[in-house]
Structure formats: C-alpha cells, structure tokens
Amino acid sequence: MASTAVHAPVEWHRLPYNYEGCKNIVMPRPLIATIDIAAMQHNLAIAKQHAPAAKVWAIVKANGYGHGLAHAVRGFAAADGLGLIELDGAVRLRELGWQKPILLLEGFFHAEDVALLAQHRVQTAIHCNEQMTMLEQAKLDAPLDVHLKMNSGMNRLGFVPSAFRAAYARLRAMGNVRNISLITHFANAECDDHPQISLTEQVRRFQDGSAGLAGERSLSNSAADLLHPEIATDWVRPGIMLYGGTPGGGTAAEFGLLPAMTLASEIIGVQDIVAADAVGYGSRFVAMHPMKIGVVACGYADGYPRHAPGGTPILVDGVMTRIVGQVSMDMITVDLSPIPNARIGSKVTLWGDGLPIDAVAHAAGTLGYELMCAVAPRVRIVEARTAT
C-alpha cells in the first residue's frame, strides 16, 4: 500500500505568534512541514498486519510526535484507541471528535485530575501507590478503566513483580475502578539478547507476576510489534513506526513504513568560495578547493539539530548532498557541488520524502523521535494533498 500523496504548494507563512498585534503579517519564509495522512494510515495498517489478533493503541503523545493531534485523529481513525501522556491532549482528542478509548500512559499527576478522567471517559495507567490513594479518595460519578503497570525491568514506572498482585487486589477492591488491564514496557525490544535485560526476560517476569489475574494484556511497543509478533497479546502500542520512523532492528523502508512528515525548505542564498575560505560560525568548515555553498532557510530554532555535523545528508532539487559548517539558529549551509544548477529557490528536503528521518538522526547522533518532536511552533505545518 503506497502513499499517493503529493506536497501541497508552498504557501506564504503567517506568524503563529501575535507580535504586538501584527498577527496577520505575511512572511515568505519557505520552511514547511508537510504531514501525509495516507502514510499514517499505511503505517497503522502495517502495525495491524504484524498483530492481526490484537487491538491497537496508536500512540499520539507529544502532539502526535510533532505531527499534530488533528492529523493523528484522521491518520489513525482505524485504531482501537489512542494513547498519550498529556491530560489536556486527551481532552483535545475528545474535542476533535474522537469517541473511542483514550489512555493516559503515565496516568494522572494530581488528585483533581481524576474527575476529569471520568468526565472525558479517559482510561489511566496506575504505576504507584500514590496514584491509587488519589483514586481511592476521588468522588466520581462513574468508575474508571485502569491499566496496572508492572516494572518488568525497565526500572522507570510500575510495580515490581513481587508487589504486583497486592496492587491489583487493592484496585479490585475500589469502587472507583471498573476494568483492570495489565501492562508493561520493554527496554530492549529491538535487541532481544541485550546483556542487561532481554525482551524474553521481561516477558517472563510479566507472565509470572500477572499469572492468574483477570484483565486484558498490553506489552508490545513498535519494536516488539515489528520484530516479535509472537508476543502480541490483547493490545499492542505502536508509536514511532506509525510516523514512518524505525525503533531499531532495521530501516523504515525494510519494514515497509512511509514517512508521515517531510520537512522542506529552499535555498535562500548562494556563495562561491575558494580554497581556504571558511563557512559559518567558528569557521569549522574550511574549503580545500573552490566550492558553491547554498544557504537553507532552516536552523536549530526550527527544530533542526544544532549538533548535526558536517556530512549530514540533505537533498537539494532531489540530489543528495551534505551539510557543511555549523548549524545556526535560522540557517544551514550545504555543499552544492553535486547540483551545479542549484540556485536561490531550489527545493530542499531536510528529512522525509526521499530522505529517511532516521538517516539524518543517525548522522546527528540522535533518534528520529527527537527530530519529529522538536519541530518548532514557527514552522508552518500543512497537509499533503492526495492525488486522484
């Protein structure tokens, strides 16, 4: 199932901020993040194919991994539920018309949040005794569905296996609790032989600690869904794969995933330099021969990683080239040697269609997750127009 989306025409930007009442000043900066709904639908279908008997929590935390909750509601309309961290985001999902289940993956943080969960029909993780106390003391019109979390080796949130049954019994005795599901999270699903804690060992701990307890199970994240479909239970919880990034264990293309976000800009300046000329702050790049340098309208204030080194891949007019010099706040400098006809206005792809986000992230020593989530508010987001 291939995406047939084409990028919408570049539009003039409007300020996302209200600078002294100048909200509607037109700005021609050409940096745009294009969201491909068809790619999101395609990636969700792949998650379902790997776990055909399971229901799917599509994870939309961090504003849908930077893609926007409104786009996530449409892109993941076929999911059985949506999972996220932010209570205000859960309320926003209801405002956007999402009627199916919503799950708060970290649960609630304050006693006053509990009534909001009931009001908006939001399910919640329970990972500590403090949350259980707040839930016990809450005055609710209707009981909640809760997801009791086990710490099976990740050592972040959850009850250790030896304390899990007692936590379950305490929840079962509460009038504010309706259904109890059982969940855990994997530390190394992309590397089952990890010497510290393996996927197999975490599954064993979860099964032993929850044996005999009633309730639906949810274990698999993106890596487990793609690489270990045999461990899928009642629900799976794909995240990064839904947006066309890889959790490890292979490339997005090898898994058949499509990029849901393309960050694109244009060349806004060209410089011809000679041997020994330097480029950018700190003069970190020094030319060894005559070169043509292009200036791209994008920088770390837009969410591009400042630590991306020289050599990080970038596309200009569809041709692969490289960053040279230091990424600055608003601009990136690139080597135009492979594109002799490049000029001001030439199209630039920073990641997405034609350039996997994971390739850029790898060059920058980070993950595709971070790049998606870091796209700044001043970057205009548009939706890809589907070809007919």
Helix (H, G, I), strand (E, B) or coil at 155: coil
**Within the chain, which residues score under 70 in pLDDT?**
1-28, 386-388
Q: Which two tokens mark 174?
A: 């509460």
Q: Torsions phi, psi of 370, nearest 5?
A: -65, -40
Please give the helix or strand (H or E) that residue 350 lies within, else none: strand 347-351
Domains of the chain: 37-243 (3.20.20.10), 262-386 (2.40.37.10)
Residue 219 C-alpha from the chain's centroid: 19
pLDDT at 195: 87
Considering just the CA atoms, what is the radius of gyration of the chain in Å?
Answer: 24
Cα first-last separation, the chain? 15
61 is catalytic: yes
Among 17, 19, 23, 61, the one annotated catalytic: 61
pLDDT at 28: 61
Among 19, 23, 139, 281, the one annotated catalytic: 281
Q: Give the pTM.
A: 0.91
pLDDT at 146: 98
Q: Give pLDDT tens digits for 205-249.
A: 999 999 999 999 999 999 999 999 999 999 999 999 999 999 988
pLDDT at 357: 97
User: For helices 199-210 and 161-172, what crossing angle results, to 10°?
Assistant: 40
Q: Give pLDDT tens digits for 302-352.
A: 999 999 999 999 999 999 999 999 999 999 999 999 999 999 999 999 999
In whole angstroms, how far apart are CA 221 and each of 57, 184, 199, 305, 366? 10, 10, 11, 26, 19
